[in-house]
Structure 1
Amino acid sequence: MRNGDHPPVLHTLNEDPLIPLNRIHILLCSTAIATVLHRRLFSLFSSPTPISSSLLLLSDLLLAFMWAVTQAFRWRPVRRREHLETLALAVPDHRLPNLDVFICTADPYKEPPISVSSAALSVLAFDYPTDKLSVFVSDDGCSDLTLFAFMEAARFARHWLPFCKEMRVLERCPEVFFQSSHDPRSHEIKLLYQRMKEKIESVMEKGQVGDDLLISEEDHAVFNKWKSFTCSNHPPVIQVLLESSRDMDIMGNPLPNLVYLSREKSSTSFHHFKAGALNALLRVSGVMSNAPIILTMDCDMHCNDPVAPRRAMCYFLDPELSPNLAYVQFPQRFPGVNKNDIYGGEIMRLYQINPRGMDGLKGPNYVGTGCFHSRHSFYRSPSSSPSLLCDLNEQTSDTPFSSEAILRKAHEVASCQYENGTKWGSTIGMRYGSLSEDYHTGYRLHCEGWESVFCDPERPAFFCNIPITLNDVLSQNKRWCLGVLEVFLSKHSPITFGVKKVSFLMGLCYSYDGFWTSWCIPILVYGLLPQLALTYQIPLFPKGSDPWFYLHAYLFLSAYCQDLIDFLASKGTFQRWWSDQRMWLIRGITSYLFGGAQFALKQIGIPAPGFNVTSKVMPDEVTRRYEAGMFEFGIVSPFFVSLGTVAMVNLFSFIIGMANAARKEGGFDEMFVQLFLSAFVVVNSWPIYEAMFLRKDGGRMPRRVTTMSILLAGILYSIAYFLFSE
C-alpha cells in the first residue's frame, strides 16, 4: 500500500434509526416507574394486607431492575454489512488465514451420527481454500459408531466437495440438500449419499461396527481398540481421517483436514462437560494445525452459506478492528420451527435483538456456536497479542498431521491430567465454573479488554435444530438459567466486576442474562396473588376510573409494544411474538423457578443433575403434532404441575371474579386490573387447558398432572383465605 492510501473498506456499520426514540422512551418510562414505586412504597404502610403489598413491591422492584438492564441493549443498536468483493480484491486466497473448525458431540443415540457427519460435510465444503481448512470433531461419548460415520463421511467428501463447487451449491449439508433438491444432475451423488446413510443406519441398528463393513486392515486395527473402552474410562483416541497433504477428491484437488478426537476420560477426573471438550480441541488443534481462526459449531448445526468464513474475515482482516477482536458471532437460525413457533424456539431476543444492541457497545456475547474466534483471545489479553495480520506472514508447519511426533504430542495434550496445575479454564481457553460455558467465556473475554462483532447477513449463515417437546425446551432453558446464575453470583458478577472491567452498559447487558432467575418472582406473584385476591374481592390496584390506573396501563402497554416493535423489526411476525411472550411467562414459572431452586440446593450441598444432552431424535407422531402447532406434554413433569396449577388458579379466579363483579355495583371498575390479569393468563394458558381437558392424543396432559394441579390450586386458595380474610 502506498503512503497516503486508505485501507480497503471491508465492512460498514450503521446505527439503528430508532435510537433517539429509544432514549426518549427510556426517559419517560423511568419517570413513570419511579412514580409507581414511590406510591407502592408509601401505600405499604397503610395496606390492609401488608404481605400482599410487600410481595407486589418486591415484584415491582425486580421488574424495574430487569427493565433497566434491558434498556442497555436499546442504547446503541447497530447493523453491519460485509463487502466480500472488496475482500476478494484486497486479500487473495493464498493470503487468507488458516481456519480450524470444532464440532462437539457426546451421544450417538441422542445426536445421530448421520446428522453430525452431514454438519461436518457442510463445513468441509466451505468456499475457502481447502489447504487452509481443518475440521476437528470431539466425541465425548467415545463411540465407535460416531467414528465409523465420520470414516464414511470422509470417503463421501471426495465426491461431495467437487460436486458442490461444480454445481455452485449453496446448501452444502447433504442431509438437507437431498431433502429439497430434485435436480437430475444430482442423481449419482445422491445414490452415493444413500449408500453411506444406509451403512451408518445399519451400524446404529446393530449397536456396533461389524467386520463386514470394514474395508482395510487399518480399519480393523482402529475398531479393535474399542473392545476395551467404556464411555467414562478410556485413553485419548485421535484418528486423522483426511489429510490435505495426501488425500485428494475425485478431481485430483486436495481435501481439507478431518480429525476425530475423543479426549481421555477417567472416572476419577472431572471433565468440565463441553468446555473441557473444547479446551482439549484447542490444544490438539494447536499441535496439529494451529490456525489463527477457530469456528465453534454445535453438532446439530450446519452451514447454509459457504462464504460465511469470508464474511468473518472481513472483520478479522480489518487493521483497525483486528488487534482487539476476539470473535465474530453469527446468529442462530432455526428453519425447523413450526408456523407460529409455539415454543418461542427462535429466541429472537437472545440470538438477534440483544446481540445487535451489544454490538454497538463492545460486541455481542458468545452463544456457543456459529462463532469465529481468534485463537490468541483464548491465551492472552489483546495488549499482549500479536496482530492477526502479522500471523499471515508466518509460515505454517509442513509436518504431516499423521506423523508420529505430532500424534504423540496430540495424545499428550488430550489426556485428563494435562490441565492439572495450569490456568486452563481460569484464564486460558474456555472458562470453567458454569454450565453455560459460552456465556461465561464471552463475558470474561470482554472483561479482559477484547471486543466482538455481530455478523447477521441477509442469507442465514448457519441453521440449527431445536427441541420440539415442551419438556425438552424447558429443561434446556433451566440448564442455561442455572449456568448464567453461577456466573452472576460469582466473584466475577457482571453487576459488580463487569461494570468496572467492561463498561457500565455492557455490565448491565450481561446482568440481564445472568439474572434470568429473578423473572420467576414477579411472574409468579402477578400470576397468582392478584387472582387469589380477586376471588375474595380484595382490590390490590387502582380502580379503572382512577388516574393512577392509566400510569399502570402505560407501563404495561409500553413494555409490550416496545418488545413487539423490536420483534417485528427483526422480521418476526405478530403470531410468533405472541408465542414468544407466552413462553416468557411459561419459563418464568418453570425453567427460571426450578433453575433457581436447583442452584440454591447446590449451594447447601445437595447434589444436582449434571449436563444432559438434549435429544435430537423424536418419534414421528411427536413431530407431526409439533408441525400442527400442538403443545407436547405427554409425560409427568414438575414443570407441567407448576404450569397446570397457575392455569387452574387463573381460570377459577376469572370465573368467580366475573360473577362477583357482575353482582356488585362498580365491581368491574374496582377489580378491573385483577380481572384483566386473570383474563390475560387464561388466554395465554389455552394450550394447557386444551391438553388437560380436550385432547385425547399422546401429547395430552397426563391425568396425574391435572389432578395434582387442581389439588395444589385448592391448597393455594386455602392459604389465600387466611391471607385475605378479615
Structure 2
Amino acid sequence: MENRIQTATKLGRITEEIRMKHKGFSQWVSYSSRLDHDTILQILIDGRDPNAVDNEGCALPTLVYLAREKRPQYSHNFKAGAMNALIRVSSKISNGQVTLNVDCDMYSNNSQAVRDALCFFMDEEKGHEFAFVQFPQNFDNVTKNELYSNSLRIYNEVEFEGMDGYGGPIYCGSGCFHRREILCGRKYDKETKIELKRENDSKREESLLELEETSKALASCTYETNTQWGKEIGLKYGCPVEDVITGISIQCQGWKSVYCKPERDAFLGVSPTTLLQFLVQRKRWSEGDFQIMLCRYSPARYAHGKISLGLRLGYCCYCLWAPNCLATLFYSIVPSLYLLKGIPLFPMISSPWIIPFAYVMFAKYTYSLAEFLWSGGTALGWWNEQRLWLYLRTTSFLFAFIDAILKTLGFSESSFVVTEKVADEDVSQRYEKEIMEFGAASSMFTILSTLALLNLFCMIGAVKKVIVGDGYVKFYETMLLQILLCSALVLINWPLYQGLFLRKDNGKMPSSVTTKSLVLALSVCTCFTFLY
C-alpha cells in the first residue's frame, strides 16, 4: 500500500488499475486534490446485512468511509468542519444517540470504555445532566523520564480530576463520548430526562446505493450556508481549539461533563518525538485557548453565573497560557543582564524583604515536585517538565500571544497546523535514548539558543567579577537571587549547549541557528554593558 501511495503521489494521479479496483477512486478525476474534490462516501460494511459477519459469525457494525467535499473557494473549517460533516452523515446512516470521536493517531486500548461511558449516561439519578464523558489522552511512546513532558501527567492526574469536582472537565477533542442531540444544539432542561433507546435499523427502506447518494449532500461545501452549524449547532468554528470552545459553550447551557479514568488506559496515541513538533503543537493549543479568552465565549465573561467559579478558574489556567510569555521573558533576560552589570534587582540577603521571594520559590517548586512524584513521575521527569515549561513560555506562547492578538484585531486569519509525528529511524533512536532533537532551522530555536547563550555569557561575566574583584561578600549579599536565577537558567539549558557546541549527530542545532544566536546574544550583552 505504501508503494501504491508513493507512486500515485509521484504521478499526481491514480493509475487505471487502481481506479478500476477501488470504487472510491472512480470519483477522483484529473483536477482533484486533497483540497479540491467531490464528496466521497462509501458504506463498506452494512450492519443491516445478515451476511455482514466476522470469521466467528458475529455481526459486524456498519462501517462508513467519508471524505467531505472540499473546494478552494469555501472554508472547510479544519477539524471542526470535518466533525460536523461526520455528525450529519452518521445521523442519516445510523443515528446512534451516543458518538465517540478519536483522533487519527490514537486507538482504542480498552473495549470496556464504551460501557464505562454508558454507565454515566444511563445513571438513573444524574445521567440526564451529562453531555459528554471525557477520557484522558495517553500515549504509548512516552519515555521513562518524559523527555518532552508528553505524558500530560499533571493534567490527567490532578487538574482534570479537580475540574471534574466543579462540574466536569474540558472537552479535549479525542477520546470523548457525546450525546448526539446535545452536540446538535439541544438545550438543557433539568426536568427532562434523556433515555437511550436502541433504534430498529430494519425500518429503513432505502437501498445501500440510495443511502450513500442521499447522505453525500450532507457533506457538501454549501450545506452549512445560512445555517447555525458551527455557531449554535455542532462544533464551533473560528478557533484552532474547537474542542475546548465547544465544551465550554455546552457547559454554559447547563450541561455537565464527566472525567472517566479507568485503570487500563482507554485510548492511546502517539506523542511528538522532536522538540519542534512539541513546540508547534503547544503553540496551536495556547493560541486557541487565548483566542477563547478574547472572544465571546471567554470563561471570565461569558461563563459568569453559568458555571461554577472553580471551573471558570480551571479554564482560565489554560486560556492564559500565552500571556505567560511576557513575565517569563522578563525573568529570563533582565535579571541576568543586570547581574552582568552588577546592579541588584532583588532585596539583599540580610533584608527581611527577601522572605517573600524565598518562600514563593521554595513553595512553588517543592509543591510542583511533590505533585509530579505523587502522580507517578520521576525526579528527572519533573526536571524535564520544568525545562519544557521554560521553552514553551519563551517560544510557543510568545508566537501564540502575538498571533492571537493579530487575529483578534483582524490582521490575520485562524490557521490549523497539524502536528507532524512521523520520525525517521535515527530520530526515533535518539528519542528512545532521551536525547533532545533539534536538527531543523526554526525561529523558535533561534530564540531558545539566544536566551540560553545570553544567560551563559551573563553567568561567565558575573563569575569574572567575583574572581577579579575584591568585593565577593558584598556581591554575594546583594546579588544572591539573581545568581540563583541565572544559574538555574544555565543549568536547565544544558541540552541546548550540547546541541549548539558538543553534539555531532544530525539532531544537533543547525550551524545557521548557532551563528545567529551567538551574534544576537553577544550583541545584547555588549550593548547593555557599554550603553546602560
Q: TM-score, normalised by structure 2?
A: 0.93
Q: 8 Å contact 1:330–1:455 — kept in the other structure?
A: yes
2:100 corresponds to 1:295: yes
For residues 573 and 527 of structure 1, the distance between their equivalents in structure 2, rounded to whole angstroms, comes to 26
Match of 2:525 in 1: 717
Summarize deviations over 1:510-550 as a string: whole Å, max 9, x none: 11111111110111111111000000100000122322222
Match of 1:549 in 2: 354
Match of 1:244 in 2: 47
For residues 284 and 440 of structure 2, the distance between their equivalents in structure 1, rounded to whole angstroms, comes to 19
3-state SS, counterpart of residue 671 of structure 1: helix
Q: 8 Å contact 1:329–1:372 — kept in the other structure?
A: yes
Map residues 101-250 of structure 1 onto 2, 5 A cutoff.
200-207=1-8, 219-228=21-30, 229-246=32-49, 247-250=52-55
Match of 1:380 in 2: 186
Aligned residues: 521
Alpha-carbon shift at residue 559 of structure 1 (Å): 1.2
Question: In structure 1, what residue type is equivalent to 2:84?
Answer: N
Percent identical: 38
Alpha-carbon shift at residue 654 of structure 1 (Å): 1.2
Match of 1:686 in 2: 494
Map residues 439-588 of structure 1 onto 2, 5 A cutoff.
439-588=244-393
Alpha-carbon shift at residue 420 of structure 1 (Å): 1.1
Gaps of 5+ in 1: 1-199
For residues 117 and 198 of structure 2, the distance between their equivalents in structure 1, rounded to whole angstroms, comes to 19
For residues 398 and 206 of structure 2, the distance between their equivalents in structure 1, rounded to whole angstroms, comes to 49
Summarize deviations over 1:187-237 as a string: whole Å, max 9, x none: xxxxxxxxxxxxx223223227656568xx7x4543222134222222211
Summarize deviations over 1:576-625 as a string: whole Å, max 9, x none: 11111210111000100011122233345544673222223211111111
Q: 8 Å contact 1:203–1:209 — kept in the other structure?
A: no
Say if 1:238 and 1:666 are closer, same or farther in 2 by CA, change over 3 A: same
Map residues 419-458 of structure 1 onto 2, 5 A cutoff.
419-458=224-263
Alpha-carbon shift at residue 495 of structure 1 (Å): 1.3
Alpha-carbon shift at residue 384 of structure 1 (Å): 7.9
Match of 1:653 in 2: 458
Q: 8 Å contact 2:240–2:284 — kept in the other structure?
A: yes
For residues 400 and 296 of structure 1, the distance between their equivalents in structure 2, rounded to whole angstroms, comes to 28
Q: 8 Å contact 1:203–1:210 — kept in the other structure?
A: no
2:445 corresponds to 1:637: no
Say if 1:261 and 1:703 are closer, same or farther in 2 by CA, change over 3 A: same
Question: In structure 2, what residue type is equivalent to 1:242?
Answer: I
For residues 300 and 547 of structure 1, the distance between their equivalents in structure 2, rounded to whole angstroms, comes to 54
3-state SS, counterpart of residue 222 of structure 1: helix
Q: 8 Å contact 2:240–2:414 — kept in the other structure?
A: no
Summarize deviations over 1:25-57 as a string: whole Å, max 9, x none: xxxxxxxxxxxxxxxxxxxxxxxxxxxxxxxxx
Summarize deviations over 1:690-710 as a string: whole Å, max 9, x none: 000000111111111111112
Give the RMSD, CA atoms, in angstroms: 2.0
Say if 1:496 and 1:249 are closer, same or farther in 2 by CA, change over 3 A: same
For residues 609 and 359 of structure 1, the distance between their equivalents in structure 2, rounded to whole angstroms, comes to 30
Map residues 82-93 of structure 1 onto 2, 5 A cutoff.
none
For residues 372 and 495 of structure 1, the distance between their equivalents in structure 2, rounded to whole angstroms, comes to 27
Say if 1:590 and 1:401 are closer, same or farther in 2 by CA, change over 3 A: farther
Match of 1:623 in 2: 428
2:405 corresponds to 1:600: yes
Moved more, 499-508 or 437-446: 499-508
Match of 1:704 in 2: 512
3-state SS, counterpart of residue 41 of structure 2: strand
Alpha-carbon shift at residue 661 of structure 1 (Å): 3.5
Match of 1:675 in 2: 483
3-state SS, counterpart of residue 547 of structure 1: coil
Summarize deviations over 1:48-70 as a string: whole Å, max 9, x none: xxxxxxxxxxxxxxxxxxxxxxx
Say if 1:705 and 1:401 are closer, same or farther in 2 by CA, change over 3 A: farther
Match of 2:203 in 1: 398
3-state SS, counterpart of residue 383 of structure 1: coil
Question: In structure 1, what residue type is equivalent to 2:203?
Answer: D
3-state SS, counterpart of residue 311 of structure 1: helix
Match of 1:276 in 2: 81
Question: In structure 1, what residue type is equivalent to 2:62?
Answer: N
Question: In structure 1, what residue type is equivalent to 2:25?
Answer: F
For residues 239 and 528 of structure 2, the distance between their equivalents in structure 1, rounded to whole angstroms, comes to 39
For residues 504 and 644 of structure 1, the distance between their equivalents in structure 2, rounded to whole angstroms, comes to 40
Map residues 607-618 of structure 1 onto 2, 5 A cutoff.
607=412, 610-618=415-423
Moved more, 689-698 or 545-554: 545-554
Alpha-carbon shift at residue 565 of structure 1 (Å): 2.2
Match of 1:137 in 2: none
For residues 191 and 107 of structure 2, the distance between their equivalents in structure 1, rounded to whole angstroms, comes to 31
Say if 1:402 and 1:531 are closer, same or farther in 2 by CA, change over 3 A: farther
Match of 2:155 in 1: 350
Summarize deviations over 1:661-717 as a string: whole Å, max 9, x none: 353132112111000001101111000000000001111111111111122212322
3-state SS, counterpart of residue 382 of structure 1: coil
3-state SS, counterpart of residue 495 of structure 1: coil
